[in-house]
A and B are shown apart, each in its own frame.
Chain A
Amino acid sequence: MDTMKTSKEPHALWRFFSSVRLTLALLILLAAASILGTVIPQREGMVEFARRLSPAMLEVFEALRLFDVYHSFWFRFLISALALNLVVCSLNRLSPTLRRLRSQPRPDRTKPFEETPPHRRFPVSRPVEEVTVRAEALLHGRTANRARKDTTNGSFLYGERGRFSVFGVYIVHLSVLLILLGSILGSLTGFEAFVNIPEGDGTDTVRLRGSGGELKLGFRVECKDFFVSFYDDGTPREYRSTLRFVANGEAEEAAVRVNHPFTYQGIRFYQASYGSIPGNEATLVLRRGKTLQEERTLRARIGESIRLPGGEGRFRVEEIRGDFMRMGMGPAARIVVQPGEGETIPFWIFLHPERVEARFSGSFQQFPKLNPSAYEPYTFFLKGIEKSHYTGLQVNKDPGVPFVWAGFFLIVFGLFITFFMSHRRIWLRIEREGDGAVVSVAGRATKNPVGLERELDHLAARLRDHLGTGERAS
């Protein structure tokens, strides 16, 4: 007995996942969880917020992954539950839908005529056969899949359209699944990374977002050229990089700019940002002694050994930085002086010494390594550094994208069918009454009852015009 019962009645779990109440609950829960994620600072933004929490609260937040809601186990669980719910609901409704789809139209049904309003039931003074032929011609223009049945008492006509519109909702649900599938595929087999490449330089490694790990591309990407243009108000108008890809000795060139990425070996390169970095050359001023006559301006490349003007020895620029100690103190260069004999003397010089002085007053005298006059009788000044650009590239691979795009296309198609197309069935009954006939018009629609009423009224009016009413003839 028990087995009989279970085979007929669906399993409790199946029943649970086939309920639309569950769908509604999941949709609302997902919305609420999403709100949580926009209110609580996520990922990189969390540090400031986390500092204000008590240690106990912080632990709760960490355990519930509230700093990364959208990638947390419970958010994924909700999405999986919604997907399962969707599959079970669709399967549950599939067999009635299929039955409906396969059902043969029956023209001689009486039930649809039960509530026919008076203006859709009218007598005509022509014989049934003629009325039927004319009515059929009229039905021809607006329906597909017609049927006719003649009896001794009269004729029945049937026509329908949009039979397949009942599948619209399955298309929508399928496309939601496709989008989810695409996103899972993308997160399992794809990656999101970035790399900064100085103009004229290249790399074969990129840095992953999130984990920060390194990833070998399997080919080399070089930035041959970088270009940026500005509007009059100083905001960037356009920036683009000319990239060169090298794999197995073969090279390919391509330009990327914002909104126009380039794909190489399945990996997409996006122009994401740019910036400037110090180049290889500094402009220096050397002053010998205290007098101004003995001042010389010269340009020095990194590592280039230059003779001091007085012949006491040589010096070189060892290093150039865009922002000393990354504290807003501006560009700096490290000078190493090699006197004729004795130890080398290294020290830093600054483009904006006043900034250093403001921050660390007296340090030029205090620390020999910051003293521009460390090698008497010379004083070194930094007048400028060469700047060059680097291009910031977003480097992504996402094999799930085609599935997502297919889902996007299908969901629009499916929603359109579901919302605006309906399975409309129209019945005409032509009853024999003396020499004439009585015509009745009825219909059913899966959606848009107002539209159906309008069509039935219109059809009834057309039939009257075509056939002439009984009253007029008599």
Chain B
Amino acid sequence: MINTVILSYITFVYFAAFMAYLFMMVMGKDGFGRVATGTTLLALAGHTVAIILRWVESHRLGIGHAPMSNLYESLIFFAWTIALLYLLIEWRTRNRSIGVFATPLAFLAMAYASYSPNINERIQPLVPALKSNWLIAHVITCFFGYAAFGIAFGLSLMYLIKRREPESGGNMFVRLIPRTPLLDELSYQLILIGFLLLTLGIITGSVWAHSAWGSYWSWDPKETWSLITWLVYAALLHSRLIRGWKGKRIAILSIIGFCCVLFTYFGVNYLAGLHSYAKA
């Protein structure tokens, strides 16, 4: 299928974008930065086209459904949300240094989807439980939430790197990272967006589960891990808003939070449960 071929090439375009961001950071040349942004835009455009082609293809096969129904499709969509959200942030903040942490996330998700032998990239028909309008709402809210947490994770790493180096000195890489208060504020804003979307994702999943299986909450491992993630970020928000935590502690909590996100997404597949179709 043409869409999977395009997507496997897009993987390398994301890698090229990552390299361009890296060159920009190491050599401090703005030209590389412009190339990096252009490459990411190109990757996102091709990525979007491939997703649409896959959607059309599924209709041609007579099993039409949004390409969000198995692990392959969800990884592709995850990478897409990261790239889109990152470009929006780059545009809003006019700072390219975040790209060196965001594009590898998109690249890794794409590479895992396209080149892991355990992942089935065929378009599969939907099992009856997945045939619901809630599918799209659930997947979109969850993955934009994950993407927001992912970029917040990148910003938290940047924060931890930046704070160890003196303000004026340090190498080019560290100098190009924005000032720590900006990193702190930006990652906090992204966590707010991520938390709202994760909440919406849990709610849409819950309402859907109620109509499919009769129970809005059944302590399935993926449900439980999404709740764990929610609790960790809720703790982060309370410690910041009420106890006034900032900077390093919040950065560490944000990294822990994203580890929970990753476990909710991948780790849970090693535990049995209702989300079994997301395994392969």
Interface residues of chain A, those whose CB is within 8 Å of chain B, are: 20-21, 23-24, 27-28, 30-31, 34-35, 37-39, 42, 45, 70, 183, 192, 231, 233, 235-239, 257-261, 268, 270-272, 394, 396, 398, 401, 404-405, 408, 411-412, 415-416, 419-420, 450
Contact = CB atoms under 8 A, between A and B. Distances in A.
Contacts of A412: 196, 199-200, 203
Given A30-B231, A45-B272, A270-B214, 12 more contacts: A20-B243, A24-B239, A27-B238, A35-B228, A70-B224, A183-B217, A192-B215, A259-B128, A394-B213, A398-B215, A419-B193, A419-B196
Interface string B250-279: 000000000000000000100110000000
A376 B18 CA distance: 84
Interface string B104-136: 000000000000000000000101110110000
Of residues A233, A259, A415, which shows the largest number of chain B Cβ atoms within 10 Å of its Cβ? Answer: A259
B137 interface: no
A261 B129 CA distance: 12
Interface string B206-224: 1110111111110101001
11 contacts: A20-B238, A24-B243, A38-B271, A258-B128, A270-B214, A394-B213, A401-B210, A408-B207, A415-B195, A419-B195, A450-B185
Contact of B232 (A31, A45, A419): A31
A412 B197 CA distance: 9
A183 B225 CA distance: 19
A260 B219 contact: no
B264 to A, nearest CB: 10
Contacts of B272: 45
A-B interface, 8 closest residue pairs, ranked by CB to CB distance from nearest: A258-B128, A31-B231, A394-B214, A27-B235, A231-B125, A396-B214, A419-B192, A270-B214
Interface in B227-257: 227-228, 231-232, 234-235, 238-239, 242-243
Mostly helix, strand, loop or mixed at chain B's interface? helix
Contacts of B214: 192, 261, 268, 270, 272, 394, 396
Contacts of B234: 27
Interface string B186-197: 000000110110
Nearest to A240: B128
B27 interface: no
B56 interface: no
A37 B219 CA distance: 9
B63 interface: yes
Contacts of B208: 259
Contacts of B210: 401
A282 B256 CA distance: 62
A21 B243 CA distance: 8
A31 B210 CA distance: 23
B213 to A, nearest CB: 7
Contacts, number: 108
B216 A401 contact: yes
Contact of B203 (A27, A236, A401, A408): A408
A236 B129 CA distance: 10
Contacts of A405: 207
Of residues B131, B132, B231, which shows the largest number of chain A Cβ atoms within 10 Å of its Cβ? Answer: B231
A412 B141 CA distance: 12
A259 B129 contact: yes
A405 B185 CA distance: 33
Contact of B125 (A192, A237, A261, A415): A237
Contacts of B192: 419-420
Interface in B125-172: 125, 127-129, 131-132
Contacts of B203: 408, 411-412
A415 B207 CA distance: 19
Given A30-B231, A34-B224, A415-B199, A258 B129 contact: yes
Nearest to B192: A419
Given A24-B235, A31-B228, A412-B199, A238 B207 contact: no
B128 A239 contact: yes
Given A192-B215, A408-B206, A419-B192, A34 B228 contact: yes
A411 B199 contact: yes
A175 to B, nearest CB: 10
B238 A24 contact: yes
Given A30-B231, A259-B132, A411-B199, A404 B216 contact: yes
A272 B216 contact: no
Contacts of A235: 125, 127
Given A183-B217, A258-B212, A411-B199, A37 B131 contact: no
A239 B212 CA distance: 13
Contacts of B127: 235-236
